[in-house]
């Protein structure tokens, strides 16, 4: 990047907007991105495998935050605005020195990679033709990305600084439409000139495998989960199950403390006489935030359910989000302005008015003691925790259910 204005331009869309591994148009043409599976150096001379995309249109290199956290390499602060297609901008706040090695050759290169929240979402899968890919047997072990057709995330972008040093001189066709193999330091890269996927069902190519459709299906799954598991206790309080999307066994260890108020209000319960910690458990980190201008809550607690456990997975990683069930802000404001008189109200500690079902309580563990001289005690939070991925949906859906129930009650009263 230019040192005078500290701006970097990047022609690949993955920096500024979601991108897919195969770009699909209305004539079913596909463009393969140049991807490779590479080894990156971590502590104690160990190597970790990751998927990289090679982009000659990018002036600098990028690494995702998730991969950076796994590598645990020291970083340097560096404020760098990054411009993409359409003059969109993001900003990198730090960079790290990264050593990269080829899986298929002795090639090594040291790069400065700027940290971004993500390089890309999972690259979309490419349907396999009925006749197969027809890659020569002797080439298969030397492919830069042996599973280019599969859905898999990209955590590294290697820019134009070394792009042409990586490419080799040889190019081969492997007799499938216009697909070619390009030699490189990372192995044979799949490229094409004008490849069309033939003999594929339209519903396989379009819609069903898209990121948007996958999001909608997940949201429907969360709604169905709520409808099938939500109950009301004897006091009328909603008690919900957490919408878990993967096995809780993937969670590792995490440690924290919490505030005495939860115990006094009955929003957490102490775990006593426990010989061993359950495998499906997670300890929530938190920190206190001061707000001196607040009339009621001078200090509040912020839960970090995205904190990685020893396995590199957080509680939020295994929870589903759910859809947005409330109206958008414009609709709310428009409805607000339609009436001469309006009533507004505030539900005190709204998230903590809804309980969590017993089977999920061990996923909301905390450590707490009143004084430093006391021994740490384990507690379980028994209400919905603000900061978990599905919290907003769970709470808002309860409000909607209550509103619908009371509409029916009021209508019956009006008719009687």
- What is the edge-to-edge ordering of all strands in the sheet holding 238-240? 231-232, 238-240, 355-356
* Whether the Cβ atoms of residue 225 and residue 241 lie closer than 8 Å to each other: yes
Closest CA to 381 of 294, 285, 274: 285
* Whether the Cβ atoms of residue 187 and residue 142 lie closer than 8 Å to each other: yes
Based on the fold, state whether residues 258 and 399 are members of the same structural domain. Answer: yes
Q: How far is 375 from 2, CA to CA, in rounded Å?
A: 55
Q: What is the domain-level CATH number for residue 374?
A: 3.10.10
Query: Quick one: pLDDT at residue 384?
Result: 92
* Whether the Cβ atoms of residue 44 and residue 283 lie closer than 8 Å to each other: no
* Whether the Cβ atoms of residue 356 and residue 242 lie closer than 8 Å to each other: yes
Per-position b or e across 55-73, b if 16+ CB within 10 A of its CB: bbebbbbbbbebbbebbeb
Based on the fold, state whether residues 255 and 403 are members of the same structural domain. Answer: yes
**β-pair partners for 10:** 58
Based on the fold, state whether residues 95 and 171 are members of the same structural domain. Answer: yes
Give the CB-side neighbour count of residue 3, counting CA atoms within 13 A: 0
Q: To 5 degrees, how large is the angle CA 141–CA 145–CA 149?
A: 115
Q: Which of 200, 220, 240 is the last residue of a domain?
A: 240
Residue 119 lies in a domain: yes
Residue 198 lies in a domain: no
Tell me the helices (H) and strands (E) count for the chain, helix number first.
7, 19
Residue 19 lies in a domain: no
Residue 224 lies in a domain: yes
Based on the fold, state whether residues 339 and 310 are members of the same structural domain. Answer: yes
Query: Quick one: pLDDT at residue 15?
Result: 35
Structural domain of 236: 211-240
Query: Quick one: pLDDT at residue 292?
Result: 60
Q: How far is 359 from 242, CA to CA, in rounded Å?
A: 9
Based on the fold, state whether residues 228 and 254 are members of the same structural domain. Answer: no
Query: Quick one: pLDDT at residue 6?
Result: 42
Query: Quick one: pLDDT at residue 319?
Result: 93
Q: How far is 159 from 157, CA to CA, in rounded Å?
A: 6
Based on the fold, state whether residues 235 and 287 are members of the same structural domain. Answer: no
The pLDDT tens digits along the chain (416 residues) read: 433 344 444 433 333 333 333 333 344 455 677 889 999 988 767 888 999 999 888 888 999 888 888 888 888 888 888 877 766 778 888 899 999 999 999 999 999 999 988 887 666 666 666 666 777 778 888 888 888 777 778 889 999 889 889 988 888 876 555 678 888 999 988 876 454 544 444 444 444 556 677 778 888 888 998 999 999 999 888 999 888 877 666 554 434 334 566 667 778 888 888 888 888 899 988 777 766 666 555 567 788 899 888 888 999 999 998 888 888 888 888 888 888 888 888 888 888 889 999 999 999 998 877 777 888 888 899 999 888 999 999 999 999 999 888 888 888 888 87
Based on the fold, state whether residues 236 and 333 are members of the same structural domain. Answer: no
Q: Is the sign of the CA dihedral 394, 396, 402, 408 positive or negative?
A: negative
Residue 197 lies in a domain: no
Residue 200 lies in a domain: no
Residue 6 lies in a domain: no
Based on the fold, state whether residues 171 and 259 are members of the same structural domain. Answer: no
Based on the fold, state whether residues 169 and 271 are members of the same structural domain. Answer: no
Query: Quick one: pLDDT at residue 413?
Result: 87
- Tokens representing 133 are 């890919």
Q: Which of 221, 240, 259 is the last residue of a domain?
A: 240
Q: How far is 16 from 66, CA to CA, in rounded Å?
A: 17
Residue 23 lies in a domain: no
Query: Quick one: pLDDT at residue 16?
Result: 34
Query: Quick one: pLDDT at residue 102?
Result: 93
pTM to 2 decimal places: 0.44
Based on the fold, state whether residues 179 and 104 are members of the same structural domain. Answer: yes
Number of domains present in the structure of the chain = 3
Based on the fold, state whether residues 81 and 169 are members of the same structural domain. Answer: yes
Q: How far is 21 from 33, CA to CA, in rounded Å?
A: 6
Based on the fold, state whether residues 182 and 233 are members of the same structural domain. Answer: no
């Amino acid at each position: 990047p230019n040192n005078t204005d500290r701006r970097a331009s990047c022609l690949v869309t993955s920096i500024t907007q979601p991108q897919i591994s195969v770009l699909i148009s209305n004539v079913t043409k596909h463009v393969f991105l140049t991807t490779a599976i590479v080894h990156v150096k971590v502590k104690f001379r160990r190597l970790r495998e990751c998927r990289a995309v090679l982009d000659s249109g990018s002036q600098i290199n990028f690494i995702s935050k998730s991969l950076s956290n796994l590598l645990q390499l020291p970083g340097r602060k560096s404020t760098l605005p990054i411009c993409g297609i359409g003059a969109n901008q993001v900003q990198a706040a730090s960079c790290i020195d990264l050593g990269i090695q080829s899986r298929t050759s002795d090639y090594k290169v040291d790069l400065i990679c700027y940290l971004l929240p993500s390089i890309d979402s999972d690259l979309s899968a490419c349907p396999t033709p009925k006749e197969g890919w027809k890659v020569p047997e002797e080439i298969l072990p030397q492919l830069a990305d042996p599973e280019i057709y599969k859905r898999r995330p990209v955590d590294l972008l290697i820019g134009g600084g070394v792009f042409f040093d990586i490419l080799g001189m040889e190019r081969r066709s492997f007799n499938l439409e216009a697909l070619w193999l390009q030699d490189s330091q990372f192995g044979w890269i799949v490229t094409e000139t004008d490849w069309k996927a033939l003999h594929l069902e339209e519903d396989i190519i379009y819609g069903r495998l898209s990121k948007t459709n996958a999001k909608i299906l997940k949201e429907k799954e969360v709604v169905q989960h709520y409808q099938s598991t939500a109950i009301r206790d004897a006091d009328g309080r909603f008690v919900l199950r957490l919408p878990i999307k993967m096995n809780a066994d993937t969670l590792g260890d995490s440690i924290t403390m919490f505030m005495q108020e939860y115990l006094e209000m009955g929003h957490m319960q102490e775990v006593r006489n426990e010989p061993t910690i359950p495998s499906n458990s997670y300890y929530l980190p938190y920190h206190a935030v001061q707000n001196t201008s607040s009339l009621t809550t001078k200090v509040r607690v912020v839960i970090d359910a995205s904190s990685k456990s020893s396995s590199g997975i957080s509680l939020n990683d295994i929870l589903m989000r759910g859809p947005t069930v409330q109206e958008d802000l414009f609709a709310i404001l428009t409805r607000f302005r339609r009436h001469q008189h309006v009533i507004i109200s505030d539900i005190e500690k709204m998230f903590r008015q809804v309980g969590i079902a017993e089977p999920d309580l061990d996923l909301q563990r905390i450590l707490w003691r009143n004084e430093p001289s006391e021994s740490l005690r384990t507690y379980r939070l028994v209400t919905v925790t603000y900061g978990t991925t599905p919290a907003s949906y769970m709470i808002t859906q309860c409000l909607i259910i209550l509103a619908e129930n009371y509409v029916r009650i009021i209508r019956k009263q009006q008719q009687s």
